[in-house]
Every structure is written in C-alpha cells, then in structure tokens.
Amino acid sequence: MSTTGTHYSRPATLPAIWLVAEREIRMRLRSKAFLISTGILLLLVLGSIVAGGILGANQSLPSVAAVGSAVTTVEATDAFEVTEADSVDEAEALVRDGSVDAAVVPSEGQLGLTVIGLDEAPSGVVAALSEAPQVLLLDPSDQNPGIVYLVALAFGIIFFSSALTFGQLIAQSVVEEKQTRIVEILMATVPVRVLLAGKVVGNSLLAFGQIVLIALFAGVGLLATGQDILLAEVGPSIVWFLVFFVIGFVMLAAMFAAAGALVSRQEDMGGAITPITMLIMVPYFLVIFFYDNPLVLGIMSYVPFSAPIGMPLRVFLGLAEWWEPLVSLVILVVSTLAIIAIGSRIYENGLLRMGAPVKLKDALKSAA
C-alpha cells in the first residue's frame, strides 16, 4: 500500500535566515514613519554640520575704536577689529552709535589704557587686554575640548537612538506575532532559532545601513564646509565606531527579541525591555559627563554594553594603544555570542507561552 501526497521540507538554515531577515527589512521599509524619521535624522545631521561650519567661518572679532598710542597696543593682541579714531570724542561717538563694541583710549593709569563701553563693562575686551600669566602644560592635548565634546555627544546619541529605536521595533514585532498567532505559522515553516536569527540579521542590517548613511552625510557636510582636517581626525574613530556598533547591536537585538518573547501583550512590553533600555542609557550619560575622564573611558572601553561608545572615543582622543581596540572587540564578540545563546533559548521557551508574562528566572530555568 502506497500513500501519495505532498512532502514539505523546510528550507536550509542560511536561506531561511535570509528569508526572515528580508521579511523584516521589507516591513520596515514599507513603514512611512520609519522612512520619514530616518530622512529627518539625516537632514538634522547634515544641517547641524553645515550650520556649525558656517557659523565657525563667520565668527567675527569684537570691534573697538582706538585712539593714539592705544592703536598699537590693541592691534598687537590680534583679538579685535580696530577702527582708528582721531580723538576720544570721536571714539565715544562710535560706541554710542553702535559702530564698535567698545573704545580703547590712552590714559594715565597703571596700564596706560582706558576701555570705554556703552551701558555695561565690555568684559571680553577687558579680558583680551589684560595680562595673563604664562601657562605651561606638561601633557598638552591636540584636540579642541569643544570638538571632543561634540564627538562624544555624537557617538552617544547615535548609538543610543539607533539601538533603542530598532531594539524596540524588534520587541514590538515579536509581541505582535504572538498576539496575532502568526508566530505559529512561522514556526511551522522555519525553526525558532532561525526565526530569531532572521529578525536580528534583518534589523541589524537596517540599523547598520542607517549608521552608514549618517556617517556619509556627516562626511559630505564636513567636506562641503571645508572641515576636511576635522574629518581626517575623526575618520579612524568613525570606522571603529561602525565595527563596534554592528557587533554591539547584534547583542542588544538578541536581548530585545528575548524580552519580547516573555510577554504576550504590547502593554507588558515596557516592563520587559526596561532593563535593556537602562543598559543603553547608562553608557550614554557616562560619555556625556565623563567624555574627558581617561579612567571612566578606559573602563567603558572593556564593558560590552559601553564599548561601542567608549573605545571609538578613546581612539579619537589618542588614549588607546593599537592593541586595545582589538582586545575590546574580542571581549565584545565573546559576550555577544554568549548572550545570543542565552537569548535564543529564552526566546524559544517563551515564544508560545500566552497570557501572563513569563518570569525571567522561569525562562532561564527552562532554558537550562
């Protein structure tokens, strides 16, 4: 006796992973909200760099009117736009009509100069004319502190916003599939771990693509505003940031997917992903407040959740030896593999559980 029928075979692992990843990518790219938010983010990055370059190029020196012997003294500072006046009265008139910010005239005082303002003391002019003691730096830094802060802020914001945005999308997608029972159909087609891998790969590609676009737009903005020297200084750290971001995001994506599998309703998702959100927020605030602290940055460089921010910033500051990014990267890769292994089992254990949220300790016990 023979039976006839159609035999269904599951696709191979790699094609199945790509099939799920492609589905995730299509869903995101069809979302107008996602496309609009990405476009706005890119325009903000480009606009901020162009605006900063224009403002930096258009910065003007304070204008002063100088009389007699004061002209030589004021010009020697190279800190002012100097207008020569024939008399003190003429200099005062220029101050009154707003032609200059202040006037500097000879006097019989200790410094031989008097600064004339309109309605308040021109502190900037006074500071530039005051004699300051010589400063000797034992270990001078080549970076402008303002530029260092901006680079730290950029790394922190980009990692924080991208990881949180795509991580929440992953968790939300998992919960939606559980609510609508689509996950049961998907599990009949591909293994659970393949489903998880596809979600992580698809969203990681989207996140990485967004970061690459941000880097390209930033580079275009720097070149367009003549800030090619800054681009050369930041370039190596951007490359390291991209490398660390990819691996770090895969780690976080697996955690978000596992957290989403623990709940069955969107209302419960916030509590499930809060610990992961905190892990993303802590490095962001650390780099904002301790961007110039070598000890804090050194610790951040070797902690997996903060290494994608800490190590690239140390590379930019010149604080990292050539081997340190490699060691940090190995630690991050090993940590990512371990978290993926744990997260995949939690994901598999909680995916078909409906109703009340699955406690993490129960999921871990079942995963053991």
Which pLDDT belongs to residue 332?
A: 96
- Phi and psi at 155, nearest 5°, equal -60, -45
Answer with the residue of higher pLDDT: 98 or 254.
254
* 316 contacts 237 by C-beta, under 8 angstroms: yes
Q: Cα–Cα distance between 246 and 200 in angstroms, integer?
A: 11
> How does DSSP classify residue 324?
H
Q: Cα–Cα distance between 196 and 194 in angstroms, integer?
A: 5
Q: Cα–Cα distance between 138 and 309 in angstroms, integer?
A: 28
Q: Can you say whether the dihedral through the CA atoms of 23, 25, 26, 31 is positive or negative?
A: positive
Which pLDDT belongs to residue 80?
A: 80
In angstroms, how far is the first alpha carbon of the chain from the final one?
A: 45
Tokens representing residue 224 in the block: 């367009």
Which pLDDT belongs to residue 283?
A: 92
Which pLDDT belongs to residue 304?
A: 94
pLDDT digits (tens, 9 = 90+) for 201-237: 999 999 999 888 888 888 887 777 777 666 677 888 8
> How does DSSP classify residue 239?
H
DSSP letters, 99-135, are SSSEEEEE-SSSSSEEEE-SSS--HHHHHHHS-----
Of 139-143, 271-275, 331-335, the least confident: 139-143
Which pLDDT belongs to residue 194?
A: 87
Q: Cα–Cα distance between 364 and 330 in angstroms, integer?
A: 26
Of 53-62, 95-104, 321-330, the least confident: 53-62
Residue with tokens 């990843």: 21
Q: Cα–Cα distance between 288 and 348 in angstroms, integer?
A: 37
In terms of DSSP bridges, do strands 81-85 and 113-116 run parallel, antiparallel, or are they unpaired? unpaired
Q: Cα–Cα distance between 287 and 254 in angstroms, integer?
A: 24
Nearest residue to 165 (alpha-carbon basis) of 38, 22, 305: 38
Which pLDDT belongs to residue 140?
A: 57
User: Mean per-residue pLDDT for 44-73?
Assistant: 74
Which pLDDT belongs to residue 16?
A: 86
Which pLDDT belongs to residue 1?
A: 43
Which pLDDT belongs to residue 241?
A: 92
User: Mean per-residue pLDDT for 245-251?
Assistant: 93
* 39 contacts 29 by C-beta, under 8 angstroms: no
* 331 contacts 246 by C-beta, under 8 angstroms: no
User: Mean per-residue pLDDT for 139-164?
Assistant: 79
**Which residues are registered as beta bridge partners of 104?**
66, 115
Tokens representing residue 188 in the block: 């009949």
pTM over 0.85: no
* 80 contacts 125 by C-beta, under 8 angstroms: yes
